[in-house]
Chains A and B, each alone.
Chain A
Amino acid sequence: MADKIDARGLSCPQPVVLTQKAIKDGKTEFQVMVDSEVSKENVIRCIEKNKFTASVSVEGDTFTISVSK
């Protein structure tokens, strides 16, 4: 089971900060949960900037972004 970062309810730029921290900590496979389009788009940019791959699934108000190398 991959690590999960629950960034729902956090305002920008916190979700990006948590994503960047996970990557800096050496995690190569994890999920980030956010609840706004803004956070989703920003987190995806951060992941792609770090040359990781992002895929998104939506359930209700939650976007789950799966990150892999």
Chain B
Amino acid sequence: MIIPADSNVLVGTGSKDDAGVYRISDTVALIQTLDFITPICDDPYDFGRIAACNSLSDVYAMGGKPVTAMNIVAFPTKKFSLDILAKILEGGQAVMNEAGVQLLGGHSVDDPEMKYGLSVTGIVHPEKILRNCSIREGDSIILTKPLGTGIVATAIKADIFDQEHVKEFISSMAALNKYSAEIMLKYNVNACTDVTGFGLAGHLIEMLQENNYSIEVDSEKIPLLPGVEDSADMGLIPGGLYRNRDYVSARCEFSKNVKQIYRDVIFDPQTSGGLLISLPEKEALHLLDELKSAGLKSSALLGKVVKCNEQKIYIS
């Protein structure tokens, strides 16, 4: 399919970036993205919050500010009462209020499988767009949320999960990346993305496009949700993790001593995951301190960018 060239398209379909960006003036560019998901938890209000956070995240990952949104709803009206839908939308609205985003409308269809998400429009200065692959040699890489939502969701679905850890699972996914993004923008960040369906490894690989670097990851620094290790050991692993592994494992090299949980979780598909931020090492240490002081306790400096044409992820 050929899409006519337009010099105002700053990030378009040719990119594997988090959202599209279109310049409307010398100082303002529009960021456009949409995302919708199937339920990841039982409570409809929480599902609404998580889906909205997940949709808004792409705008934060591009260095922008979300401004408006439209609801995207697929709902099985024959299976569930409309009260459930009202709760989902209420959850989504609560997150939009928190983000300072105006809901302008939406669209719903009757569908055998429930889905919810947002189409989001944000703004950014055209020269301050944060691409995912503009990393530089010597950068450190920070992740702002713990990994393991895919594994934990599978364990909950199997009803083999410690209930005391469920709260942390929900609150991590229902946390807006707004706060980490606002702190990040005070620093000279070279690149940013968010960790979602392709897992940490898949999104690190995306950071290696169009450059001659590799990324070294210290596995023990990878933050994990509580209960993830036990669940993975038990075989409560989503099919998506295996698909991600098949897709990118040829570009991942593990040292012998890397524990099994890190060999798994690096491929775990995330819902509403954290920001993955690449910035010079010295600044990274300050950013990490500031993120932690702001209550983003799971934030971790887990890797660094090295000059190496292999374009691989080295996990030790």
Contact = CB atoms under 8 A, between A and B. Distances in A.
A16 B239 contact: no
B247 interface: no
Nearest to A16: B235
Given A12-B154, A13-B154, A37-B242, A42 B235 contact: yes
Interface string A23-44: 0000000000000111001111
B238 interface: yes
Contacts of A14: 158
A13 to B, nearest CB: 4
Interface string B145-168: 000000000110111100000000
A20 interface: yes
Contact of B235 (A11, A36, A37, A45): A45
A13 B233 contact: no
A47 B263 CA distance: 19
B233 A49 contact: yes
A16 B234 contact: yes
Contacts of A43: 235
Nearest to A47: B235
- Taking residues whose C-beta sits less than 8 angstroms from the other chain, chain A's interface range is 10 to 19
A54 B233 CA distance: 15
- Taking residues whose C-beta sits less than 8 angstroms from the other chain, chain B's interface range is 10 to 19
A49 B160 contact: no
Given A16-B158, A17-B158, A46 B235 contact: yes
Contacts of A13: 154-155, 157-158, 160, 235-236
B175 interface: no
Contacts of B160: 13, 16-17, 20
Contacts of A38: 237, 239, 242
Given A12-B154, A13-B154, A37-B242, A42 B237 contact: yes
Interface string B234-253: 11111100100000000000
A19 B158 CA distance: 11
Contacts of B235: 13, 16, 19, 41-46, 49
A19 B235 CA distance: 10
B263 to A, nearest CB: 12
Given A19-B235, A42-B235, A45-B233, 8 more contacts: A13-B157, A13-B236, A16-B236, A36-B239, A41-B235, A41-B242, A45-B232, A49-B234
**4 closest residue pairs by CB, A with B:** A45-B235, A42-B235, A13-B158, A46-B235
Interface of B: 154-155, 157-160, 232-239, 242
